[in-house]
Structure 1
């Protein structure tokens, strides 16, 4: 059984990565993956990419107040159905080195968090979102030490990560018809949108343990990943698409200029339990249970940096200029699958996954069901290639008014529905080991 473990697990781990990228609750993209740490031998490196194709479509959109949107005279303007989420790619890279017979370290690069919604300018909800994009870069070092316990080996695991997060959100702030009505021909070239740009970084840590019995291809691991405090998020709010001469009439001194802003946020802690076991010669069962504390991200307020000495910037701050309204609930992911080794070169696996949606009414991230499969090919003992794919369903829901901190209501700008939508994904990766 032990000779089959790495071949079968190779395809199985590919599926775990595909599922994480395709289900993407909260701001999750690639998530965290330390499986290369368990690769036998003194050296292993892996690189891969996942291409995800979600087909989430907004339907039946209604602008709550048409007069502040694209229309004029109380008549709404723009489409009521739009595609929300473009395709995206999630890369990853890792190098594992065995320092001694029992100590291993993994250096990794990943993009754990991210989101990209792009319904565009020409829809009735442009005052809620034109385009939002969050990106991340995680540079990690994770090490482990093994020692004999009973029939197997117990592995202590620990590590750190440095993480960078950046992004932007553009939305309609003032209807173009209002600008046109106030300034006439002088309004040409102004679309009334505003742009929030942000960036931050932080350091986090992880700790865990794993127990392995190679004879039975058995492994169980539990890893806790601590939250990452991003500290002060720095950014700007750009309102230059609204003529500065309207600042007085609008009683908004930030109109017509770019303003430095700041906010605070914490990326969530998580706990992940992975298991696998041989169930027959050349057959492996495996699965995952993961919890992510997405509820730490509710309303991320941004205030002018010039007001920092006057008080903290929160959802109820009198200095709040704008915000990212998320109101996530905690995420749960459960998956299980089977892998089979056909011969020394070929193995395959298949997996079913369920991800509980993190939306409480302000996003389209509802429950996701996914079927994924993959094939691993090892032309020799030093090289392994993997390809995989997935198909799943993004379940239906709606967007609309939702209770927010400070006795406020978020999501009052537009309401819409979305049905059961398709998501597909493709993956490719390669590994070199010796």
Structure 2
């Protein structure tokens, strides 16, 4: 089993810290020769809670979402190779159902964040052991938010914001050490933050517009810097142990349109840094079939979250399988995640307890070597 196969089995199938979705994998860069890969994932969260003020259930507030991806790696010569890739690095889909009349204070509150992420990397091998990689990444991101009453006593939509999608660019730097004789690889990759200036239209009484109307201005949103560490080593014939770590600087992430500032100075979201760990074992059964089992843990941190991200950390277990035939490789993985309990707040006021929640993720990738 190759390290790239392990990455395909474990990456991109988990709800992660902040609004992380893909985990920004670069495993295709370490594939042998020329390689093209197309992937599709589906994540189904079941996240609900109970309102403190009324005792009523929120229902499931997180929507299902898909994770398409593609990547192309080209080997220019023995030392130089390159990769281009596309994925949905970040995203959110939150919707509180029910009605205010049914004593569900946040009914009608929604949030949606969409992104498209493109990465272009080059890798240079100094020798059999050492290599460096780096390049650029460009992302397009935007979203919509509607907030109802924020737990007040009247059922009115007090705030709407449309953040038009905008492009931003950053860079990627990393290096790797390998020992092919024992299937050892240690790789570290740094992803810079990316600034977006999103044209924003806000409306609602809290924006302070007199007479009521739209407030138009740009909102500066910076997606966070992050570090990925990937380790693997052979532990027996046809058997690998692997470890992955990801840190993302979500504590510096803000979505704070100007009209929301007077009543929500911390912005629409308030995250802590995320620390995500994966540990597993992969084994090649024969020339065609390989498999893996792995566990994942994300530090819960503070159990007080915003109503737009009502869980804190998770624990997960996953299985993966790879089928290889000639130049074709098919990879499939599934993961179950036990999401951490959280107290969700709105405008700084706790509104509900979210507990006993989970998510199920599945992914398939088809690769072709040419």
Could you say which residue in structure 2 is the equivalent of 1:303? 258
SS in structure 2 of the partner of residue 84 of structure 1: coil
Does the CA-based 8 Å contact 1:234-1:263 persist in structure 2? yes
- Of 46, 52, 62, 2:53 maps to 62
Could you say which residue in structure 1 is the equivalent of 2:172? 206
Distance in structure 1 (CA, Å) of the matches to 2:9 and 2:76: 29
Q: Give RMSD over aligned pairs.
A: 2.8
Does the CA-based 8 Å contact 1:355-1:368 persist in structure 2? yes
Q: Cα gap change, 1:168/1:358 in structure 2, threshold over 3 Å: closer, same or farther?
A: farther
- Of 44, 61, 67, 1:53 maps to 44
For the pair shown, the structure with the greater C-alpha radius of gyration is: 1
Unaligned runs of 5+ in 2: none
SS in structure 2 of the partner of residue 86 of structure 1: coil
Q: Cα gap change, 1:340/1:100 in structure 2, threshold over 3 Å: closer, same or farther?
A: same
Unaligned runs of 5+ in 1: 64-77, 180-190, 305-313, 402-409
- Of 94, 111, 125, 1:146 maps to 125
- Of 94, 110, 120, 1:131 maps to 110
Asked whether 1:227 is paired with 2:193, we answer yes
Asked whether 1:29 is paired with 2:8, we answer no
Does the CA-based 8 Å contact 1:290-1:333 persist in structure 2? yes
Measure how far apart 1:213 and its partner are.
1.4
TM-score by length of 2: 0.90
Could you say which residue in structure 2 is the equivalent of 1:385? 330
Residues 30-72 of structure 1 show CA distances to partners (whole Å, capped at 9, x for unaligned) of 121111000011x101111111111111213427xxxxxxxxx
Distance in structure 1 (CA, Å) of the matches to 2:277 and 2:187: 15
Number of aligned residue pairs: give it. 364
Deviates more, 1:388-397 or 1:258-267: 258-267
- Of 226, 242, 257, 1:270 maps to 226
Measure how far apart 1:192 and its partner are.
4.0
Distance in structure 1 (CA, Å) of the matches to 2:186 and 2:11: 18
Does the CA-based 8 Å contact 2:9-2:332 persist in structure 1? no
- Of 366, 387, 394, 2:339 maps to 394
SS in structure 2 of the partner of residue 301 of structure 1: coil
SS in structure 2 of the partner of residue 23 of structure 1: coil
Measure how far apart 1:194 and its partner are.
4.0
Could you say which residue in structure 2 is the equivalent of 1:369? 315
Q: Cα gap change, 1:145/1:57 in structure 2, threshold over 3 Å: closer, same or farther?
A: same
Distance in structure 1 (CA, Å) of the matches to 2:301 and 2:59: 22
Residues 166-215 of structure 1 show CA distances to partners (whole Å, capped at 9, x for unaligned) of 11011225999969xxxxxxxxxxx7464211033211001110011112
Measure how far apart 1:86 and its partner are.
1.4
Distance in structure 1 (CA, Å) of the matches to 2:344 and 2:361: 25
SS in structure 2 of the partner of residue 325 of structure 1: coil
Asked whether 1:425 is paired with 2:361, we answer yes
Distance in structure 2 (CA, Å) of the matches to 1:93 and 1:210: 23
Measure how far apart 1:279 and its partner are.
0.8
Measure how far apart 1:303 and its partner are.
2.5
Does the CA-based 8 Å contact 2:282-2:290 persist in structure 1? yes
Q: Cα gap change, 1:253/1:175 in structure 2, threshold over 3 Å: closer, same or farther?
A: farther
Does the CA-based 8 Å contact 1:56-1:421 persist in structure 2? yes
Give the number of the structure whose residues are more often helix, by fraction: 1
Distance in structure 2 (CA, Å) of the matches to 1:233 and 1:286: 39
Q: Cα gap change, 1:81/1:174 in structure 2, threshold over 3 Å: closer, same or farther?
A: closer
Distance in structure 2 (CA, Å) of the matches to 1:111 and 1:161: 12
- Of 90, 109, 127, 1:113 maps to 90
TM-score by length of 1: 0.77
Residues 148-180 of structure 1 show CA distances to partners (whole Å, capped at 9, x for unaligned) of 2xxx4211111101111111011225999969x
Residues 370-416 of structure 1 show CA distances to partners (whole Å, capped at 9, x for unaligned) of 10111110122x10001111112002121237xxxxxxxx323x510
Q: Cα gap change, 1:322/1:344 in structure 2, threshold over 3 Å: closer, same or farther?
A: same
